[in-house]
Structure 1
Amino acid sequence: MKSSTMAAMRSSLRGPVIDPRDAAYAEARKVYNAMIDKHPAAIVRCADAADVMAAVALVRDHGLEPAVRGGGHSGPGLCLVDDGVTIDLSPMRWTRVDPAARTAEVGGGALLSDLDHATHAFGLATPAGIVSSTGVAGLTLGGGHGYLTRKYGLTVDNLLSADVVLADGRFVTADENEHPDLFWALRGGGGNFGVVTSLTYRLHPVDTVGVGITVWPVGLTREVLAWYREFLPRAPEDVYGFYTMFVIPPAPPFPEEIHGRTMCGVVWCHTGDPGRLEETFREIFASIGDPGPPAFHFASPMPYPALQSMFDELIPSGYQWYWRGHFFDRIPDGALDVHLEYGERVPTPLSLMHLYPVDGAAHRPGRDDTAWSYRDAVWSGVLAGVDPDPANAEIIRRWCVDYWDALLPYSMGGSYVNFIGAGEGPERVLATYRDHYDRLAEVKRTYDPDNFFHANQNIEPAPRP
């Protein structure tokens, strides 16, 4: 990058502009996934929306390539671009709660931990993820699901408005009344339409929740998953449980005798009466029969933010990650065999598979109400190879890809856009948006006709008429 361009950036912004010569550069270019090794020409840390507007104008006017970073959780590393400029919102980690209106406004760089901390003080929350270090904006723009989804819907079902800096430098607010086409697209269409500097959410009464972890030996995968596929869709919406296969870590609450063993099971969240927690679990296991005694069952009331952060230390920033996803509307017997096969050969102790429920309240909005195009899905699945050692990167990637390929015949054809892995290609984006793609392309043409924002799971602008 020309020194004059760098000087213009530094003189125009309140936040720091970091280039490869700066001591802070090596740390600034790190993202959650250590498999990503990209070298931007500059990282612009924006202090506020005015900084974002200035950064967009400078990047555009100097013919540079932009990327946008919120929480830095992008699996394929789309928040960085080699030799371009990362517009980094990480300084914008603020949250303002209106407890009377039950709303929260959140800065574009905020993490789920910031949102949960602020809202929990008032006994409120909104559905968003399961790992507290996830960026709020990126999760939301992909659609967003989490522990509260069966009770209160997707994250985008609770989004009331968004402030956006467009490719031409304009600042707009998108909601049901202003720029409703943009608001529709932002609710699941990813980072294609501009830089989202703040988001406003509807909140719900959530304080202490019931938390449970129930695991069985992985050899019982067929039995456990066959039970789970019948139970979960029939369960009351107060009951959320994501199915998982993982290696038991040497940490509480797991007893020493199962440390290091591969297990399958369910992580539960109960939003009903905390006093009925044990009774609820007795009812769960008596409801339609069970797959046999679990190797371990834990249940306890817990503040909602504690549940959200429960797995943070097991999968911290800086590990090698490769993930891919599928949507499923059913789990046929053939899929049980696939899960057993790949569960019995999990390649590293941190690699995992999750099936997140996206039914219940998430099924109530109309199919075309938002850009999220899989209102008929029951589960959003993710397969993730994880390991701290770069030497194992290909091992975890191969396990993930082979597992994904084997499940493809049982999937709905697309996935949660935030679970699209590196190298999947534009056909995967098409499969994820289905017949919403053309409408999204028209919105893209309106707000970003030159595809300025293309470091994302890209939706190309529709041709000009």
Structure 2
Amino acid sequence: MRTDSNNDNARNAPHDRPPPLGAATLAELTQGVRGQLLDAGSDGYDEARSIWNGAHDRKPALILRCAGVADVIRGVQFARSQNLSLAVRGGGHSLAGFSTNDDGLVLDCSPMKGIRVDPYTRRVVAQAGALWQDLDHETQAFGLAVTGGLVSTTGIAGFTLGGGIGWLVRRCGLTSDNLVGADVVTADGQLLHAGAGENPDLWWALRGGGGNFGVVTSFEYALHDVGPTVFAGAVFYPGEHAETILAGYRKACAGAPDRLTTVLNLTTAPPVPFLPESVHGKPVVAVLGMWSGPVTDGDQHTRAFREIGPPITDLFGPMPYVAMQSLIDPLYPSGLHNYFRSAFLHDLDEPAISALLRAYATVPNPLTELHVHHLGGAMSRVPAGSTAFATRDREFILNVVARTPAAEGFPGVVDWARATTGSVAADAATYVNFTGEASGDQVRASYPGDTYDRLVAVKQRYDPANLFRLNQNIPPSAER
């Protein structure tokens, strides 16, 4: 099923459907790239066209599996010259399905996984196809890390460009706050470097403005001393105590130090060995968190979250950083139908708690969850106008995770997710990475008005024809 609105389908479709590509044209592209070019008749096409979110089953005309920057440049030039819809893929986790298309070109950067760590300057340069598990593996060899995804199979590219909220957000800020440079292939096929001293307008826009401005082929991040061992884990409480746990969680967050980031999850107990069989399939409240300071201090600083009520089980303790980064990976396999929504919350007050409890009582299936992620800390101390990610004054973010194993029942969970977000936080700012469909209204809700206008100006400069429109799109001035 596709959840795109009709207006956004029109925006994200090719401006004019291109004529069929001739054999000579395809041969020229094949000879001009080092990577693999696939079409519907190629071995491996069906596997290559599949993305993590099973809700989007699309059939691109061509998939170019890029071997390097030269292939990216050639692919961008080809899509423009042939008037093809262009989808850019890094890790392929795009919730709204932007990493694929119908009848267009998919520029698949997933083979580009090069990573180079400089432990002396505490910097890492990573190519666009790297996943968080790849980056963490390399940086943790030196006890270094940057804010990464909660699911380690997520790609670094889209995650960073939309902001990047993870277990280090309160200590280190957003992933995009730690982006110190980027190489970008723009719509005219140029390779530019963006950073504080080069193309600063583009660098500003890349830090929260999504994939609107070009194909980022490599990212340079500032790293922090983290790990290799942290104090982290999860504590589970009975679902019938959800109101008490939510109120207690709010109180515990008020006293949390920056080195502690937590998430509260209103969920259903999975059939896993670390939970008693008596609670399998029943409502539970999980509080997950990571203390990234001295491990010996972890018990003290997490205790307020582990004593909110009578726990079912407490799994907090010392563990490798990479283990915490991949802790929930088994719960997010490829192929499910996924639809996520989000809303930033000023506070977890009584009206918000009441709305969350009502939504929790009506979850449509055991895969569907409500996540409340504690923010603040280092993220809130970055001046709002210094990056395109401008919503920094909110204490929490609500992520509504709606899923089904297959297409059956999916429209119902989408409706539930939309209604839930509206009931908890009507007209709230949204997080562009957790916008489950192409929606101009949600894009506008992701940015304050002056930030949005500035993004339009950057878009107009670097992509005036809106070649990069398969994203949470910020149209150039001519299309407004």
5 Å-filtered alignment, 1:153-168, equals: 153-168=173-188
Q: Is this contact kept in 2: 1:218–1:344, CA < 8 A?
A: no
- What's the TM-score once normalised by structure 2's chain length? 0.92
Q: Is this contact kept in 2: 1:218–1:343, CA < 8 A?
A: no
Residue aligned with 2:54, SS: coil
2:61 to 16, 29, 41: 41
- Give the deviation of 1:380 after TM superposition: 2.2
- Give the deviation of 1:9 after TM superposition: 1.7
Q: Is this contact kept in 1: 2:345–2:425, CA < 8 A?
A: no
5 Å-filtered alignment, 1:214-363, equals: 214-282=235-303, 284=305, 291-363=308-380
- Give the deviation of 1:95 after TM superposition: 1.1
CA distance in 1, matches of 2:131, 2:44: 21
- Give the deviation of 1:256 after TM superposition: 2.6
State the superposition RMSD in angstroms.
1.5
CA distance in 1, matches of 2:96, 2:204: 25
* 1:397 correspondence with 2:414: yes
Residue aligned with 2:477, SS: coil
2:226 to 195, 206, 227: 206
1:51-74 deviation digits (Å, cap 9, x = unpaired): 100111111111111110110000
User: May I ask how many residue pairs the two structures share in their alignment?
Assistant: 457
- Give the deviation of 1:264 after TM superposition: 1.4
- Give the deviation of 1:433 after TM superposition: 1.1
Residue aligned with 2:63, SS: strand
2:124 to 92, 100, 104: 104
Which one-letter code corresponds to 1:415 in the other structure?
T
1:19 to 33, 39, 44: 39
- Give the deviation of 1:283 after TM superposition: 5.1
The aligned residue for residue 172 of structure 2 is 152
- Give the deviation of 1:284 after TM superposition: 4.9
- Give the deviation of 1:262 after TM superposition: 1.4
- Give the deviation of 1:385 after TM superposition: 1.2
- Give the deviation of 1:458 after TM superposition: 0.5
* Unaligned 5+ runs, structure 2: 1-19
CA distance in 1, matches of 2:254, 2:62: 48
* 1:461 correspondence with 2:476: yes
Q: Is this contact kept in 2: 1:28–1:43, CA < 8 A?
A: yes
The aligned residue for residue 419 of structure 1 is 434
Residue aligned with 2:34, SS: coil
Residue aligned with 2:331, SS: coil
Which one-letter code corresponds to 2:440 in the other structure?
P
Which one-letter code corresponds to 1:68 in the other structure?
V
The aligned residue for residue 56 of structure 1 is 76
Q: Is this contact kept in 2: 1:94–1:114, CA < 8 A?
A: no
The aligned residue for residue 9 of structure 2 is none
The aligned residue for residue 193 of structure 2 is 173
The aligned residue for residue 115 of structure 1 is 135
1:168-192 deviation digits (Å, cap 9, x = unpaired): 0000010000000000000000000
- Give the deviation of 1:291 after TM superposition: 4.0
Deviates more, 1:57-66 or 1:117-126: 57-66
The aligned residue for residue 81 of structure 1 is 101
CA distance in 2, matches of 1:408, 1:103: 38
**Aligned residues with identical type, % of pairs:** 41
Task: Give the ranges of 4+ consecutive aligned residues of structure 1 lying more than 6 Å apart after TM superposition.
Answer: none
Q: Is this contact kept in 1: 2:131–2:152, CA < 8 A?
A: yes
CA distance in 2, matches of 1:256, 1:146: 30
* Unaligned 5+ runs, structure 1: none
The aligned residue for residue 445 of structure 2 is 431
1:182 to 202, 208, 217: 202
Q: Is this contact kept in 2: 1:132–1:309, CA < 8 A?
A: yes
1:126 to 139, 142, 146: 146
CA pair 282-61 structure 1, distance change in 2 beyond 3 A: closer
Q: Is this contact kept in 2: 1:327–1:377, CA < 8 A?
A: yes
